[in-house]
Structures are given as structure tokens and as C-alpha cells.
Structure 1
Amino acid sequence: MALIFHSSIKRDDWWRAEMAKHVPDLEMRFHPDVGNPDDIEFALCFNMPEGELARFKNLKAIFSLGAGVDHFFKDPTFPKHVPLARVVDDELSARMTEYVVQHVLNHHRDQLTYDHQQRQKVWKVHHPPAATARKVGILGLGALGNHAAKTLASLGFQVSGWSRSKKEIPSVKSYAGAGELDQFLSEVEILVCLLPLTEETEGILNADLFAKLPEGASLINPGRGPHLVEEDLIKALDSGHMSCATLDVFRTEPLPEDSPLWSHEKIRITPHVASIAAPNRVAALVAQNIIRARNGEKLLNQVDVDRGY
């Protein structure tokens, strides 16, 4: 039994040792050193080169190295008949919540304005409302959005969320479906995007959506880069309709040096660091799923391929 591994971060010896703790009889091979492709029964990867997974005719399961799986569906040859699992982990959710809370507080307390004032040596006080009067909206109430919403509500913010279906989260107002999106947007001062990336959500952060937010609203996007139409955000910021944005993910990564996002005074950029799955926890989860796949059981956190998450 062999597993093929692919990642842009090279820690081959570590992964081999970590997986051996859980599945001693597992042979790990590291792409592109595949050997006989017919030996490969499992794949653990992120952004595997197009066409590679289709080579492995005996695949029993595919595991993403992170919470996102949209990178698999970019490959037109992706073997959709093979069970696919993503990472759902309490630590991953907690790390994302740390990022969301950090930047919601930055937006709430006018930190970007104070950063500009510091560079200009300007001493000017601003008076934000109390958290209980600030409306924060989260697009996407899956594992990550649910955790972030509950934490923000515990800090006193007025929290609402929008998702495909209604959610029951204490102290969080739930909106669902296309028919309730406009009402959700009309009440949001700080918008956080934690949606999965699907055909329906690609480009959802666009001029039409921004226009439905109250004047002065802001955006935090640690979801996926293709959710955002970058030119539309710049126009909304330049017009004054939106006040500021924090972006962690981008359509092209690393963000090109000539991108106008880098130098925009109303945009804060982080390099896709909001939440990174801890390798030891991923290894333990993958090991559980290898055992389940061997026994013919459904994988933990198995993806609905038709929905894309």
C-alpha cells in the first residue's frame, strides 16, 4: 500500500516519520517520484499538478492538506468517483477565529486610520461605537464561520451570518439562500467572507454586492482569492462607499508585485496566513481516514463532490 504526497512545502522526512506513527505499513512516495502508479492507493496533496491524480487507477481515497478543496476541481481529469476528504479540525477553526477577531477589532477600532496618522504624525482621536452597536456579518457558516461567529458574539458584537441553509447558532442571526442575501448585506458594517469556493461563490465579492452594503462598510476576506473581484473592491474603496479592507487570499499567489492592492491606502494585506493546518493533526486525521477507507467506511469530513465542499 502506497500514498503519494504533494505539497509546495518540502518536509518529506517529517511526513514519513509522522505517518509511520499512525500507519506503520504505509509506504510514502513524494511527487514527482511516483514509481509504479498502480501501487498508489491514497493521495495526500494540495495543488497536485493537473492530470496527475487520474494516473492512479487504484486510488481508494484522496485527502486535502487543508480545509479547501477547490484546487482539486480545477483539474478537468480529477477522478470524482474517488472519495475526497478535507481537513476539519478544532485547532484550524480556532486559528481562523483568531485572525477574524484580530481584524474585526482592527476595523472596529479604526486601526488602519491610526496607522496612517502615525506615518503622517497626526494626533487625532476617533470614537467608534461600542461592540454591542457594531454589526458584523459572516458569509459562510460552516465549521470556520460557525466558530468565528460564536466568538464574535461572545465579545458583544451584533453578529449575523449567511449560508446555503439556516443555521442555529446562539446569539447569531441566520440568513439563508439567495432570497435572503440582500437583507443580510443591508445590515452589515464589517463583512467577513468564509465561504467555500464553488461555481456559485466565485466572484461573489463584486460591485453588485458592495453596493448593497451600507456606506462605510468594510471587508475582511480570509476565504478564497477567487471570491473577490479585485477591481470592483478598489472602485468601491476609491468612491468612498467602502471604508477599508483586509485581504489574506488572492486570485494569484504570491500576489504579483505590480498589483495595485499592495499600495492602496485602504487595504491591509497578509500572505495567506489566516489559518494553516498543523501537520501533526493532519497526519492523525489522514491515518483515521486510511483505516476507514480500508474498512469500506465513509471518510471523516468527506466532500460532497457535486456541491464542491
Structure 2
Amino acid sequence: MLLLHLSDVDEASWGTRLAEALAPYPVVRRGDAYDPADIRYIFVWKPKPEAFDGLSNLKAVLSLGAGVDALLRHPNLPDAPIVRFVDDDLSQRMSDYVVAHVTMHHRLYTRFRADQKAKRWSQLYPPAAGQTTVGIMGMGVLGQDAAKRLLPLGFTLRSWSRTPKQMDGIEGFSGDAGFEPFLSGTDILVNLLPLTPDTAGILNYQTFGKLRRGVLDGGPVIVNAARGGHQSEADIARALGDGTLGAASLDVFQVEPLPQDSPLWAIENCYVTPHIAAISSERTGVVYFSSIIKNHEAGKPLINVVDRARGY
């Protein structure tokens, strides 16, 4: 039996479509009558504290999100495999966001918006794409997809990850020893890392100060579409104010919704979006998770299982 425990999404719609895809396999939702001992799979998003109570025969926790950092902090998380959502549609949406903001900053949008506001005609030519280095932090599914879509645009690409990752056309860096060399040649820093104790707060003033200067007018740029826990917002505000950063695109925040008193709202070279870079599609999610359950019930191994020690 599959139990849905979904908060802040349309649980009824997900339940209906999963029941259709899995029929005759039983699917129940919170509030339905069921024996917790009969639940073999639980499909979760922002599960409440009691979500896992009594699930003594659980075979897997299915997470609607690609990131599982919040789920791993759940106080009653059972000792069962966690399957995260890996989906081409979600990857495409995230890459759409990354490409849009990288190209916006490469073409010096902040500078020319200010010129327009001041009615100032200043023909400053942006560097060629090949002269501009985009550094991607995190080379999992999302990072690799973003790199694949940026490469044909002509950018010089480099990556940084916890362990060495190789991808054609990209200069790879890894580990603590590779972090500063990676930053020193990066003009636009894109963060797609998983949030772990090692990566929390990695977007800070010290990091910003190690990015390359002299290529983009106004200074280097950051794009964070991963987790708010990666960034120090006070450091971002400071760096945007003193020129350490030329601009920032932020889709995630330490507190969401972003508080009304956050200084980030009013900073002209800070581009705030309300955690909309990518979304888990119900259409593709139903296909993905129903296939996982069918295959596992048929004796096949689970896919995209989270390594709890690494946090992703």
C-alpha cells in the first residue's frame, strides 16, 4: 500500500493520478482509514512530525523533491531507503532558469538598466561568451544538465564538486584543495549543490572575494538556485553594496517567504525570484514514482536512493 503525505501541494490530485497509474495497487491519503502496518511506501513532501508513526513495514520513503536536506532533518525519519525525484522536466526547468540568468548577467543587464534609467548612452561592449567563465558548483543531475545547455552558447565552463567529476568541455575542480583555484577563474558562479553540513553557508563574503575580477563590468556575479541554507544573505547584501559582487540572482532564501524587512528586496543589482526556478511536475512525477513502486514490487532495486552519509 502507498500512503501520500504531501503538504503545500495538491495531495488529492496526486492521489487520484497515482491510484490510476498503480491500479489495482492500493493508494491512501492522510485522513483515509488504513492500517499503518500495511503501508509499504510513503510519498512525502514537507511531512508533518507524525507522518511516519506506526509504519513498521515501510520499504521506502519517496520524496517529491530533488533535494532531501529538509527530509533528512525530520525528527522521526524511519530507517528506510529514501528515493529522490530525478526528472528530465525538472532538470530542464532548472536549466532554463540558470541559462536565463547567466546570459542576462553576461550581457551586463544591470549596467544597461542603470544607463536607461539615467538616460545615459554608453556603448560598453560585453565580453564575448568565450571570454566569460561560468563556474558551476555541484555536478549532479542538475549541474550536468545546466552545463550541457550552457556549452553550446560558447561560455568557458568549469565545475567544482565534492569528488572529481569529468565532463567533456568543462574544466573540473574538486574538494577543498580545488575550491580556491576554481573560484579564482570564475566570473559567474552558479550554485546547484546539495545542502549538507559541508556546503551550508558556502556563499559567503570570503567566497565572493575570491572570484575573478576584471572581466564583467561591475564585478563577478552569483546565481543561487539550490538552497537558501547555502548563502549568507547579510554577506550578499554587503558584497553587492561594496562592489565585491556586481550582481546576484537568488531564487532561494534562508527564510521563505523572504521577510519584508530583508534588505535584498531593495538592492537594485539583486534579482529576487520566489523559489520558482524549477518545480516537480505532477504529470512526470506520477510516471516516475509509479514505475519505481511497480519495479520494486516486482523485485527490481530502487533507483536514485539517497546516501544518508553524504546527504544526497
TM-score by length of 2: 0.93
Shift of 1:170: 1.2
Look up the equivalent residue of 1:244 and give its one-letter code: A
2:139 aligns with: 141
CA–CA separation in structure 2 for the residues paired with 1:259 and 1:35: 45
CA–CA separation in structure 1 for the residues paired with 2:227 and 2:263: 19
Look up the equivalent residue of 2:135 and give its one-letter code: G
Q: 1:182 is paired with a residue of what secondary structure? A: helix
1:250 aligns with: 253
1:236 aligns with: 239
Shift of 1:45: 1.6
CA–CA separation in structure 1 for the residues paired with 2:43 and 2:209: 41
2:99 aligns with: 101
2:17 aligns with: 18
Q: 1:62 is paired with a residue of what secondary structure? A: strand
Deviations 1:258-299 (A, max 9, x none): 111111111001111111121111111111111233244421
Q: 2:271 is paired with a residue of what secondary structure? A: strand
In structure 1, list runs of 5 or more residues that go unmatched: none
After TM superposition, the structure 1 stretch with the greater mean CA deviation from structure 2, 207-216 or 92-101, is 207-216
Q: 1:43 is paired with a residue of what secondary structure? A: strand
Moved segments of 4+, more than 4 Å: 32-35
Shift of 1:39: 3.2
Look up the equivalent residue of 1:73 and give its one-letter code: L
Deviations 1:118-145 (A, max 9, x none): 3444443331110010011000011110
Asked if structure 1 preserves the Cα contact closer than 8 Å seen for 2:45 and 2:65, the reply is yes
Q: 1:303 is paired with a residue of what secondary structure? A: coil
Shift of 1:192: 0.1
Asked if structure 1 preserves the Cα contact closer than 8 Å seen for 2:189 and 2:221, the reply is yes
1:263 to 261, 266, 272: 266
Asked if structure 2 preserves the Cα contact closer than 8 Å seen for 1:150 and 1:169, the reply is no
CA–CA separation in structure 2 for the residues paired with 1:51 and 1:119: 53
Deviations 1:215-252 (A, max 9, x none): 31110000111000111111111111110000001111
Asked if structure 1 preserves the Cα contact closer than 8 Å seen for 2:65 and 2:280, the reply is yes
CA–CA separation in structure 1 for the residues paired with 2:129 and 2:247: 18
1:8 aligns with: 8
Look up the equivalent residue of 1:78 and give its one-letter code: L
Cα gap change, 1:31/1:151 in structure 2, threshold over 3 Å: closer, same or farther?
same
2:290 aligns with: 287
The percent of aligned pairs where both chains have the same amino acid is 40
Asked if structure 2 preserves the Cα contact closer than 8 Å seen for 1:192 and 1:221, the reply is yes
2:75 aligns with: 76
Look up the equivalent residue of 1:9 and give its one-letter code: V
Deviations 1:176-196 (A, max 9, x none): 111111100000000000000
Look up the equivalent residue of 1:6 and give its one-letter code: L
CA–CA separation in structure 2 for the residues paired with 1:31 and 1:137: 43
The number of residues matched between the two structures is 307
Q: How does 1:1-309 map to 2 (within 5 A)?
A: 1-12=1-12, 14-31=13-30, 35-79=34-78, 81-215=79-213, 216-309=219-312
Cα gap change, 1:17/1:211 in structure 2, threshold over 3 Å: closer, same or farther?
same
Cα gap change, 1:76/1:136 in structure 2, threshold over 3 Å: closer, same or farther?
same
Asked if structure 2 preserves the Cα contact closer than 8 Å seen for 1:222 and 1:274, the reply is yes
Look up the equivalent residue of 1:212 and give its one-letter code: K
